[in-house]
Amino acid sequence: MKKSLIVLVLSTLALTACSEKDKEYYLSNIDVAKEKVQQCKAALNTALMLKNEAKFTEVAESKECKAAELALREYERKNGSGIIIKNPFE
């Protein structure tokens, strides 16, 4: 019985650790979101430099990259730490 419980717990932890992260995860872990966005930007730059269109598209369409970017934008919007563009005509 104990062995079954241990196997179940370890299996659940392994699946959770490997699952794709979504916007809510990144909103709760904003430092991880910042790091993920930086990783995605670096991967996009590398793909551009190597002229690897397939890799560029893969990274650009990555659900985790998009989720991290959306979470970071929302966080910055809510906390006023985003870029504010003033209208020069006012």
Report pLDDT digits (tens) over 47-84: 999 999 999 999 999 999 999 999 999 999 998 765 55
Q: Residue 17: is its pLDDT beyond 60?
A: no
3-state secondary structure of 29: coil
- Enter the tokens of residue 72: 């970071």
- Enter the tokens of residue 2: 């104990």
Report d(CA 74, CA 14) in Å as an integer. 29
Q: Mean pLDDT throughout 5-20?
A: 50
Give the pTM: 0.68
